[in-house]
Structure 1
Amino acid sequence: MSRPTVVLVHGAFADASSYASVVPELLADGFPVVAPAVPNRSLTGDAAYVASVVRRIPGPVILVGHSYGGAVITVAGTEENVRGLVYLAGYALEEGESLGELQGRFSDSDLADALVYAPFPVEGQEDGTDVSVDVERFPEIFAADVDPVLARVLAVTQRPLAARAFGEAAPVAAWRSKPSWGLVASSDRTINPEVERFGYQRAGMTTVEVDSSHLVMLAHPKSVVALIREAADRA
């Protein structure tokens, strides 16, 4: 029986290379894999882009989202060929809810006072605002259990998130109609783990917990692959 295609959606302050330890194992298991570069400009715009990638894939898809990528798959996951959703230390938004609103229910993580804001040009409009993580603090907050040399590389190659994405409400919640799985990174210092638990429990997801930093795909790739494999087998 052919395997579904696994689409890996990265989060803020990262790019698709954050799945570098997961992709080889999925390919070895016989899964086709697509790991698009998410623009990180707006929730609805990013979700529309990911949905366009999913629509081009023949056959069933398992949609995986890390961190902000969880919010993206919450919207993009309504595509007809999506069979299941997997959230990795991610935001499982409710319809009409924004990242800021969900985070605001809980105490701040260490990320809150390590964010850096910078303007970027938007043609024909006022400048937008890029949000990134202080380079010196990135390793401890984002990647505490990742190889320190790699963590420093990740710190200086961040893909910023436009500030507007934090306040944008999700127009739909795909987990209402698709089977979903969630991984809580219990030592996460980027997203309060309670944010992850709350979103997953509200959605009725099958949930696992891993003692990991935010970048669980690099710190514990086998746990991530096991959850994706379970979703593919059961969705």
Structure 2
Amino acid sequence: MPSTQAASCTTLILRVAAVFLLILATAGFTAIPATASGSSKPTIVLVHGAFADASGWRDVAANLSARGYPVHTFDNPLRGPRYDSTQLERHLAMISGPIVLVGHSYGGAVITNTHDPDVVANVYIAAFAPDQGEFVQGLLNPLTFPGSRILPPALQLKLVDDPTGIGGKNIDGYIGQPYFHEVFAQDVSSDVAADMFAHQKSAALVANLEPSGAPSWRTVPSWYLLSQQDRVIPPASQRFMSSRAAPGRTTEIDASHASLVSQPSEVIDIVIGAAQETHR
């Protein structure tokens, strides 16, 4: 083959490979363009928790976008804080400018373990905010923080294919259909709860037992929106965590665990407040 042809062929292969790698890098990360001028605003990255997917942020994301904020939703793998935060960090590296991280439920454990120099604020929505060495199940200890209903028979198990697990398999937990509405989101309508159940993602059981690393909330300004009627993470546990992670920046509301769906305006307010205070 003439050298010019070989060079052209090599260039084409490199271009195709670059496109393929870009597709792989952006998988699981959805960007919602701002509908107003948002050049001076930080990017809001929304991280869902266990027993949910990114669709739970629908109303929050649409409202923030309408106000000019660039919004991304992260498809949380729900495999464990270390693995999930590594995937999140890879995606954050592709965002230019300041970032506000928002984590709901187990998503809070993920943003706690995420360290990116562009993150200017963490916002916890009825979320886990563990200190180093703590783990999710320990923060649901019924002797210290009674009240969680994430127990059998509501909590059910299944074997799943998982490349991160031993032998390509893992044991995941999920909330059974008869219990989902009353345990996860008792303050939404039956139709909304049915839609949320249909979008439910199971979470690896080992994610509840993996010790957390150095918490980002020690160096990143953080806010906390506490749900007083939470049946997943007891309010007492949320107060314990928020007193360390977001002292003086905690707001309590009369809501279920799914406040991002039942009271999106409260979530939007605290996210915008964090964005405005840390990026003027």
Q: CA deviation at 1:121?
A: 3.2
**Residue equivalent to 1:73:** 111
Query: Structure 1: which 4+ aligned runs deviate by more than 4 Å?
Result: none
1:126 to 1:23, Cα distance in 2 relative to 1, 3 A: closer
TM-score of the superposed pair, with normalisation by structure 1: 0.95
CA–CA separation in structure 1 for the residues paired with 2:232 and 2:162: 28
Q: Percent identity?
A: 36
Give the alignment's TM-score, normalised by structure 2: 0.81
1: distance between equivalents of 2:147 and 2:212?
A: 21
Structure 2: how far apart are the matches of 1:122 and 1:179?
35
CA 1:33–1:126 in structure 2 vs 1: closer, same or farther (change >3 Å)? closer
Aligned 8 A contact 1:135 1:156 in 2 = no
Question: 2: distance between equivalents of 1:119 and 1:233?
Answer: 44
Unaligned stretches of 5+ in structure 1?
Answer: none
The whole-number CA distance in structure 2 between the counterparts of 1:197 and 1:136 is: 29
Match of 2:226 in 1: 184
Instruction: Judge conservation of contact 2:147–2:231 (CA < 8 Å) in 1.
Output: no
Q: How many residues align?
A: 234
Contact 1:65 1:86 in 2 (8 A): yes
Query: Partner of 1:220 in structure 2?
Result: 263
Question: In 1, distance between residues paired with 2:105 and 2:126?
Answer: 5
Query: Using a 3 Å threshold, how does the CA distance of structure 1 residues 204 and 155 change in structure 2: closer, same or farther?
Result: closer
1:14 is aligned to: 52
Which SS does the other structure have where 1:50 is aligned? helix
Structural RMSD (CA): 1.4
- The one-character-per-residue Cα deviations of 1:178-202 (angstroms, maximum 9, x if unpaired) are 0000010101111111111110002
Aligned counterpart in structure 2 of residue 98 of structure 1, from 118, 135, 142 = 135
Deviation at 1:147, TM superposition (A): 2.3
CA distance in 2, matches of 1:42, 1:227: 27
Contact 1:121 1:127 in 2 (8 A): yes
How big is the shift at 1:122? 4.2
Deviation (angstroms), 1:219: 0.5
In structure 2, how many angstroms separate the alpha carbons of the residues matched to 1:102 and 1:149? Answer: 31
Distance in 2 (CA, whole Å) between partners of 1:30 and 1:194 is: 35
Which residue of 47, 58, 61 maps to 2:85? Answer: 47
Q: How far did residue 9 of structure 1 move?
A: 0.1
Q: Which has the larger radius of gyration?
A: 2
